[in-house]
Amino acid sequence: MRTTVASIFGRFPSKIEPDAIIAVIRRVLAENGRDFIPQYRLAILCMLILAPTAYFNVWALKYITDDVFVERDWNAAWMIAGAIVVVFAIRGVASYGQAVLLAQVGNNIVARYQRRMFDHLMRLDVGFFTGTRSGQLASRIAQNVTGIRDLLNLTLAALARDVVQLVTLVVAMVTMDPVLSLFVLIIVPPLLYAIGYVTRRVRSVSREAVEINSRLLGAMQESVQGISIIKAFTMESVLADKMARLIKNAEARSNKIARLSERLGPITELLTGFAIAAVVVYAGWRIARNGEPPGAVVAFLGALFLSYEPARKLVRAPVNIERALVNARMIYEILDLEPAQPDAPGAEPLKLSTGNVRFEKVRFSYSEHMPVLHGVSFDAAAGRTTAIVGPSGAGKSTLFALLQRFYDLDGGAILVDGQDISRVTKRSLRSSIAYVSQHPYLFEGTIRDNVRYGRPDAADAEVEEAARLANAEEFILQQENGYETLVGENGATLSGGQRQRLSIARAIVRNAPILLLDEATSALDNESEAKVQQALERVMAKRTTLVIAHRLSTVVNADHIVVLEEGRLVEQGTHRMLVKKPHGIYARFYRMQTEGAENLLEGATVDVKGTPMSEAEEGR
């Protein structure tokens, strides 16, 4: 298997074992906890301040009932009222502090993992991305990256705020009336059982929901990107049906999570209702029988009601933490992927002298039973132009991918100035190569930004000179903001030929000793192609250049031509040598293209195989 993963969405288990949960929590704390100790200390302090305020509320209820309502002591009323104002002011400041601090830490963690995820993705090999749909990957990351933040904040809130507050109120209840407290504590065992049951169910369903949503969002993203194809082929209704099915699955999974997550609600409410009812009946009977002051019972009920909110949060905390754990684990599954093509131990930077490239018996297959190249050997001489021609699927673009070490060979070697590229650093190798793809890709930003991606330290004058050489300056200056014009998503505001010329300018500004042109002029009209070809010839003059071309008219002046067929090198030489071979593959291609072009100019009809009708008739 050439790729790192066949599909990142099908490789990992749908359930997380308890040991793995503990491992994820430990890892999250080890990677993030120490960096935010000052902020967490302040947040915990704010949460601890909130706990005594809950105890004060219970205390206040007792004395308000006995001293103010029963004894009618108005001095006590004023004192208690003043204390309430002060305590609630402190409570407000503490609540604000902990909320802001946790939000700042959470946002920092999200930003940290977004940077880390992107940096790691940039280190993964090309095979990973060919086996993973980009839309699903992007949407999954967007959903999962908040899992780390939620895991830390939920854990902190559960331990430092809700547990402390609940313990404070339970202590207050036990202190006031141990017997009444038993009526409350008796509901704990069945509640814990319910929490465990729901948490286990949520664990697997949450992961399924994340993956279904990632497929849905990925499909939406791809539909937007391919909107012109959708409309051109009137695929709107077909894709609408497909999206409807995905949305229905996502809705069903979300409803299942809601049913599971909220199942604790009625259980908690019912058990709490029984506990409160038992307290009210027993306390009322005791007051009626013994004539006790009602303040203690009212305070106890107050503590019971106040403890309901932190208890409810703690009941739901395992479920919420479980969902955060699922997201956190899925992030680490990506971060833990090792690149399939690490630099060899002790790899050194490529040392270029002339830029000679040699392919020695290169064998390669994308999958085990689908070989693409079978022992291909040839030289691309330094400072010369080597053209690679052949039918589609012959392995031409694969040779370019292997030279840039996007994949590792199955056998043989590729040498640059005598150095095996598998033993030098990938960065130094690729820094020595400028590449122009037949499918130009532009990135978010301005025209100047996209040209400068070829060499980030290039001066504005160098960027503009590269654009002139690529015959791009004319259309650039026609744009409203010139070089500062935003190109839109993948250059949507530009034509295919304009995007290709910017891609060529990017390669020119790179100023690399090895130049790879993969159908570099395929998207240009004849006039633009002629101008760009002249510019490329000037740029190619002192560089080792490898050219892939289907139109043989663009490679007739190459110093050396290599002909591939079904992954094998079948011919090589100059144009003049190859075209003279009466039964040669190159000669046949050349005749088909030149004679076809002549017949088109004469208005002749060409049959479906590309053979002029006059020749077809002669063959009968």
**357-590 CATH:** 3.40.50.300
| CA 323-144-262 angle, 5° bins | 25
Instruction: Read off the DSSP letter of residue 422.
Output: G
Residues 77-83: what's their mean pLDDT? Answer: 84
Is pLDDT at 546 greater than 90 in this prediction? Answer: yes
Inter-residue contact 144 to 332 (CB < 8 Å): no
Is pLDDT at 403 greater than 90 in this prediction? Answer: yes
9-13, 69-73, 212-216: lowest mean pLDDT where? Answer: 9-13
- Residue 11, pLDDT score: 43
Maximum average pLDDT range among 111-125, 127-141, 180-194, 224-238:
111-125
Taking residue 418's Cβ as centre, other Cβ atoms within 10 Å add up to: 10
Residues written for the chain: 620
> What percent of the chain is predicted at pLDDT more than 70?
88
| CA 217-220-221 angle, 5° bins | 85
d(CA 18, CA 200): 10
Inter-residue contact 333 to 144 (CB < 8 Å): no
The confidence band for 611, taking pLDDT boundaries of 50, 70 and 90, is very low
Q: What is the mean pLDDT of the chain?
A: 80
Is pLDDT at 256 greater than 50 in this prediction? Answer: yes
Is pLDDT at 414 greater than 70 in this prediction? Answer: yes
In 3D space, the residue among 144, 158, 154, 136 whose CA is nearest the CA of residue 219 turns out to be: 136
d(CA 247, CA 237): 15
Inter-residue contact 514 to 355 (CB < 8 Å): yes
91-105, 138-152, 244-258, 352-366: lowest mean pLDDT where? Answer: 138-152
Who contacts 603 (Cβ-Cβ below 8 Å, separation ≥6)? none
- Residue 303, pLDDT score: 81
d(CA 511, CA 431): 10
21-35, 202-216, 346-360, 423-437: lowest mean pLDDT where? Answer: 202-216
- Residue 50, pLDDT score: 80
Between 402 and 79, name the one with better pLDDT.
402
The confidence band for 607, taking pLDDT boundaries of 50, 70 and 90, is very low
- Residue 19, pLDDT score: 67
Inter-residue contact 422 to 430 (CB < 8 Å): no
Q: What are phi and psi of 352, to 5 degrees?
A: -90, 140
Is pLDDT at 442 greater than 80 in this prediction? Answer: yes
The confidence band for 569, taking pLDDT boundaries of 50, 70 and 90, is very high
SS (H, E, C) 33-95: HHHHHHHHHHHHHHHHHHHHHHHHHHHHHHHHHHHHHHCCCHHHHHHHHHHHHHHHHHHHHHH
The confidence band for 227, taking pLDDT boundaries of 50, 70 and 90, is confident
- Residue 423, pLDDT score: 93
- Residue 619, pLDDT score: 34
Domain coordinates in residue numbering, the chain: 18-335, 357-590, 591-620
Which residue reads 């305590």 in tokens? 87
What order of strands is seen across the sheet that includes strand 385-389? Answer: 433-436, 514-518, 544-548, 385-389, 560-565, 568-573
Is pLDDT at 388 greater than 90 in this prediction? Answer: yes
- Residue 84, pLDDT score: 84
pTM beyond 0.85, yes or no: no
- Residue 12, pLDDT score: 42
- Residue 524, pLDDT score: 66
147-151, 466-470, 474-478: lowest mean pLDDT where? Answer: 147-151
Between 187 and 427, name the one with better pLDDT.
427
Decide if domain 18-335 falls under CATH 1.20.1560.10.
yes
